[in-house]
A and B are shown apart, each in its own frame.
Chain A
Amino acid sequence: MMDDENSGGKIKKFLYLNRKAPYGSIYALESLEVVLIGAAFDQDVSLAFVDDGVYQLVKGQSTDGIGMKNFSPTYRALEMYDVEKLYVDQASLEARGLTEADLLVPVEVLDSAQMAALMAEQEVVFSF
């Protein structure tokens, strides 16, 4: 299996730190592509949505008018890839007038201390 060859059996704590809004730049979409590929490697993966990154998860995205692909349904598919730890920064949500009910997938909302603790335990942080 490809996974074992590449990982040498190591399991690390991987954090994907998402701080950018979708569509205005490609970072959110290409970050998601890394998450999907990375899922095959059986690492201990968490996704954090902070600052404008919380906009990636907003319900009701409809991109027909801008001629770009709506990739937001992919967040719902993450579960099938065993990517289940999605964390959202509470302060970032509140600053943008959003609540958990505005998001298109189940997430765990963390206060600042909890988010800081989650980040502090990581071994590899991918920022896009």
Chain B
Amino acid sequence: MKFGILINEGPYTHQASDSAYQFTKAALEKGHEIFRVFFYHDGVNNGTRLTVPPQDDRNVVTRWSELAKQYQLDLVLCVAAAQRRGLLDENEAKRNGKDAHNIAEGFRISGLGQLIEAGIQADRLVVFGD
């Protein structure tokens, strides 16, 4: 079965991203397909490569990056939500005259249409948030 995942909260403050990760991993290990993981609201903060959690804690961001690499996951940060919160890829940084970009490996920035498309194409949409 094909799942779409929506994550509305960033890493560490809320459990949402952790719950979504455990769910996504379980679904993939059972042989299901993840059509897309879409990050919205503060959820876009899951896609910054500049997080430096303490060494004895999980790294929420790299955990997503690694899962994406292993299963060719499509991890999408909403562009409008990301720009508001200072998450930029190389193109967006250039376009907006900013001197840095910070998107972690395996994530890409795109529009809200990608969320709607996930709702349409996936057999089930599961929302994680606060």
Residues of B contacting A38 with CB < 8 Å?
A: 112, 116, 119
Sample (10) of A-B pairs whose CB atoms are under 8 Å apart: A6-B117, A10-B120, A12-B119, A30-B40, A30-B80, A34-B40, A37-B116, A43-B120, A124-B120, A127-B127
Closest residue of chain A to B118 (Cβ to Cβ) is A124
Closest residue of chain B to A36 (Cβ to Cβ) is B112
- The reply on A26 being an interface residue by CB < 8 A is yes
Contact A26 B116 (CB under 8 A): no
Closest residue of chain A to B4 (Cβ to Cβ) is A124
Contact A34 B127 (CB under 8 A): no
Give the distance to chain A from B20, nearest Cβ to Cβ, in Å.
13
- Which residues 37-75 of A sit at the B interface, judged by CB distance below 8 A? 37-38, 40-41, 43
- The reply on B113 being an interface residue by CB < 8 A is yes
- Which residues 75-130 of B sit at the A interface, judged by CB distance below 8 A? 80-81, 111-113, 115-117, 119-121, 125, 127, 129
Q: A6-B113, A38-B119 are in contact. List 11 more A-B contacts (CB 8 A).
A: A6-B116, A14-B119, A27-B8, A27-B41, A33-B80, A34-B40, A37-B113, A43-B116, A43-B120, A124-B125, A127-B129
- Give Cα A2–Cα B125 distance, bound, in whole angstroms: 21
User: Could you mark each residue 50-87 of chain B with 1 if its beta carbon is under 8 Å from any beta carbon of chain A, else 0?
Assistant: 00000000000000000000000000000011000000
Give the distance to chain A from B22, nearest Cβ to Cβ, in Å.
19
Contact B125 A125 (CB under 8 A): yes
Closest residue of chain B to A128 (Cβ to Cβ) is B8
Residues of A contacting B113 with CB < 8 Å?
A: 2, 6, 37, 40-41
- Give Cα A50–Cα B116 distance, bound, in whole angstroms: 22
Residues of B contacting A12 with CB < 8 Å?
A: 119-120
